[in-house]
Amino acid sequence: MPAATFVVISRYRGVPMAVISVIITSDSATYKEALESMLKKLPNVFKIMATTDLGMVVEKAASFQPDVILCALRNEGIPFSLLGEVKRVCPQTVIVLVTESYDLKKITGALEVGVDAYVGSMAPGYLTRILELVCRGGIMVFPSILKNHIKKILTNSDQAALRQVEVLTGREREIYNLLVKKYSNKEIARRLFISESTVKSHVRSIFRKIGVKNRSNLNADA
């Protein structure tokens, strides 16, 4: 983590562990004070680099390049473009968003702009643990509502891929199944007792029908 220059001895087997550098930002002065007070109680774990308003967070982030930006919002509006800009200038910085809004569009919007953790109001002890997990373990933390949304997307994607393959002829399906197993045109021709030029013709037709440009885009699970 680029900005972690402080070192402490971990609670775990005496292993040296870098202190996590943090910038705190919020649309509420009360939130900022509460978060600052919370992290100051753990000086061996967190180092506060700055506490700032939302309008200054990009400038502060670019200057300090912290390990984590803790953004707490009291209002329901989420500054997606601002958070995306933070991620652009500090691609290695973890963004933890604290907000009471569990609107699915806002959650997915936060994910799209690079937020690494999206949590609601919780006990300070849980929040500090989440900060450690996302920084030290590279773990993403999002509300469980997102799980069902992702499952739905994956299911729809699989079904769409299956419908695409169903438009293939019997011979094209045979060739498709060999293509996803990484067979070359020559190997397919030998296996199906057809010419290599015939295989090439079928491959072009398969790509056209299912809307892919090359073999690497083929779905092996269809």
CATH assignment at residue 68: 3.40.50.2300
pTM of the model: 0.62
Highest mean pLDDT, choosing among 101-105, 174-178, 194-198, 214-218 = 194-198
The reply to whether 97 falls in a domain is yes
DSSP H or E run through 156: helix 145-166
Q: Which of 110, 145, 180 is the last residue of a domain?
A: 145
% residues pLDDT > 90 (the chain): 46
Same domain, 99 and 139: yes
Q: What is the spatial distance between Cα 117 and Cα 110, in angstroms, rounded to a whole number?
A: 9
CATH number of domain containing 167: 1.10.10.10
pLDDT of residue 122: 73
Q: Do residues 121 and 103 make contact, with C-beta atoms less than 8 angstroms apart? A: no
Residues 89-117 have pLDDT tens digits of 999 999 999 998 888 888 889 989 999 99
Of the listed ranges 63-72, 174-183, 209-218, the least confidently predicted one is 209-218
pLDDT band at 44 (very low <50, low <70, confident <90, very high): very high
Range of the domain at 165: 155-217
**Which two structure tokens, joined as six digits, stand for 53?**
């308003």
What mean pLDDT, rounded, does the chain reach?
Answer: 82
Q: What is the spatial distance between Cα 115 and Cα 92, in angstroms, rounded to a whole number?
A: 11
Same domain, 52 and 73: yes
Chain centroid, CA 112 distance in Å? 8
Average the pLDDT over 38-61 and give the result: 94
Same domain, 115 and 163: no
Residues 160-185 have pLDDT tens digits of 565 566 678 888 888 988 998 889 99
- Tell me which residue has tokens 């996302």: 134
